[in-house]
Chains A and B, each alone.
Chain A
C-alpha cells in the first residue's frame, strides 16, 4: 500500500515538474523573470 502512496506522490511531483518545464520552455511558467518578460511581450 505504501508503495502505491509514495509512488503516486513521486509521480505527481515529476509530472508537476514536466508541466513546469514545458510551460517554462514556451515562456509561460509565470514565475521566473524570463517568462514574466516573455508573457508581458505577448499581451
Chain B
C-alpha cells in the first residue's frame, strides 16, 4: 500500500514542515482508546523504545519525549481511555492531563476498524475545544476488511483534520506530521457534535450516525474472525493455550538450553582456568583469585550463560504478544477465572508480569474494581518472571534432562496458582466481591513486525544482562565473602563453618519438610529476596559443582525447590511496587506472608506427594 492510497482524502490540507516550527515550545498529547497503537506511533514520532503490546493497558503512565528533528515539540503518550470520565487510576492520568495541562494539540489515534466506539472519545476531546488532529490508524487492515472511511465528512463534522495511517508499517507518518505542524500554527479548535454535558445515550446515538455516514463496511468474514472461532472455542481454547505455552517454554528453555548450555558452560570454565593461570603467573593472592573465579565468575557467570535461552523466550513471547494472541488468552481466561470468582482483566497484568513483576503489578491499574486490583497485585508475582527462569533452566537441565514437560509446567503452575490463590483470597472477608464485568476489544490479528519483536526481546535481554553484570555480580561477591570467612573473620576451613553456613544451618530446618533442608538451599532462597537471579548464582557458588547439586537434590525435591522459588514472596523491587499499589506496609507484609505461605504449602504438597509416588 502506498502513502497516497491512504492519504488521498486529506491531500488538500496545507502542509508546513514540522521541523520548521522553532519560535515556540509545543506539547502534543497522544490520546486514544486502549490498544489503538498510541505507543507504536509515539515510538515512531520520538524514536523512543517504549514497550508495545497488542492488548489494552500497555501504557498505564504518561511518557514524554521530544519529537524527532524538533526539540521544541514534546510528545506525551497517555494511557488508553474510552472516555474522559475517569474510573481507573490510568484513566485519571489521561483525564487530568487533558483537563489541567492544556496541551497545544491533541493527536487522537483511532483504530479505523473500531470507528464508532473510537468517535465517542473524539467527541469528548472535541468538546474541550482544543486543536485536534485525528489519526485513523491501521487503515490498511481496515481496508483489507472492507472498511472505507470518508475522512472529508469526518473533518466537516469535527472541524479537524483526519489522516489515514499505519503506524506499524510506518505509512502516512510524514503526512500526519505535516498536518500536525499546520494545526499547531493554525490552532483551529475542534467542534463536538453535541454539548459537553449531553447524556451519554444521546452521544452514542449521534456518534453511531456519524460513523454510519462516514464508513462503508463490506461484511467480510476475515481471517481474524475465522481464527478466533478456533482459538477462543469453548473446548479447544485451553488445550491450544497449554500447547502453545508448552512449545514456547520447551523450545526456549530446554531445546536451546541443550544446544547452548554445553558450550556456554565450557566457555565460563575456560575463562575461569585462564584467569586462575593468569593470576598465578602475575602473583595475585589466592584469596583474590578465589573471589574473582569462585565468587564473581561462579555466581554471575553461571547466570549469564542463560542469556541465549532467555533471548529466544523473549522473541517467542513478543511474537505472541504482537500478533494479538495474548489478548485472546485473556478473553479465554475470563471464562475460567469467572467460575472461580475472578475477572479475566487480571490476566493482562500477568502476561506483562512474565517479563518482570514490577510492570505487571503496575499494569493492574487498568482494573476498575479496587478489590480485584489489589488481589491482582498480590497474585501477579506468581508468574514466572525472567529472573526466576535461570533457576528453572538450571534444574531442568541438570535434574530433568530429556523431560520436556518440566520448564513449561512452571508456567502452567503460575497460572494455576493465580486461580487457586485468587479463590483463597476471594473467600477471605477483604476480597469478597463479585468480579467486575470484563469487556475486551479483540483487535485484528496481524503479522508481528520484526522491529517490534526484535526491540522487545533486545530490551528485555539487555536489562537482564545489565542486572547480572551489576547487581548479581555484587551479590555474588558478597555471598563469596560470607561463605569464605567465619564469623570471627578467619578463613573458614569449610563453607559449612562460614558466616553463611551458620545462617543457613539456622534456617534450613524450616525447609526440611519440603525436601531441601540443606543450608546451601536455605541461603540461596534468602539471597533470592534481593534479586531472584541470585538463587541460581548462590546455588552454583555454594555447591561448587554440578555433581554436588545432583547429590543434594532428588528430582522431586528439585521440583519442589523451583516451585518455592517461583511462588514465594518476590524480590525487593517487586515488593516496593506492591507497597506502592497497596498503599501501606502492613497490608504489603500480609501479602508477602500469604505468597510465602502459599509457596510453602505447594512445595510441601509436591515433595510429600512426590515422595510417595516416585
Contacts and interface: CB of A to CB of B under 8 A. Distances in A.
Given A6-B284, A32-B466, A27 B61 contact: no
Interface string B66-99: 0000000000000000000000000000000000
Contacts of B470: 16-17, 20-21
A21 B356 CA distance: 16
Query: What's the interface size class on B, roughly?
Result: 35 or more
A30 B355 CA distance: 16
B460 A10 contact: no
A37 B282 contact: no
A6 B291 CA distance: 11
A21 B292 CA distance: 20
B358 A37 contact: yes
B584 to A, nearest CB: 17
B51 interface: yes
Given A13-B473, A21-B474, A33-B463, A27 B288 contact: no
B292 A25 contact: no
Nearest to A17: B474
Given A17-B470, A17-B471, A25-B576, A37 B292 contact: no
Interface string A23-43: 011110001111101101101
A1 B545 CA distance: 32
Contacts of B573: 24-25, 27, 32, 34-35
B227 interface: no
A25 to B, nearest CB: 5
B279 interface: yes
A34 B473 contact: no
Contacts of B357: 34
A1 to B, nearest CB: 9
Interface residues of A, number: 27
Contacts of A7: 288
A21 to B, nearest CB: 5
Nearest to A41: B61
B386 to A, nearest CB: 10
B359 A34 contact: yes
B62 A40 contact: yes
A26 B283 CA distance: 41
Contacts of B255: none
A2 B477 contact: no
Contact of A37 (B60, B64, B462, B463): B60
Interface in A1-17: 2-3, 6-7, 10, 13-17
A37 B474 CA distance: 24
A10 B296 contact: yes
- Which residue, of B61, B63, B531, has the highest number of chain A Cβ atoms within 10 A? B61
Contact of A27 (B292, B471, B576): B576
Contacts of A24: 467, 471, 573
B576 A26 contact: yes
Contacts of B64: 40, 43
B285 A33 contact: no
Interface string B569-587: 0001110110010000000
A34 B577 contact: yes
A37 B296 CA distance: 30
Nearest to A31: B466
B362 interface: yes
23 contacts: A2-B282, A2-B283, A2-B284, A3-B285, A6-B279, A6-B292, A10-B296, A13-B477, A15-B474, A16-B470, A17-B470, A17-B472, A17-B473, A20-B466, A25-B573, A27-B576, A32-B467, A33-B355, A33-B356, A34-B356, A34-B362, A40-B62, A40-B63
The 7 lowest CB-CB distance pairs between A and B, nearest first, are A17-B474, A34-B358, A20-B470, A17-B470, A2-B282, A32-B463, A21-B471
Given A16-B470, A37-B359, 14 more contacts: A6-B288, A10-B291, A13-B296, A14-B473, A14-B477, A24-B467, A24-B471, A27-B576, A31-B463, A34-B358, A34-B577, A37-B60, A37-B362, A38-B358
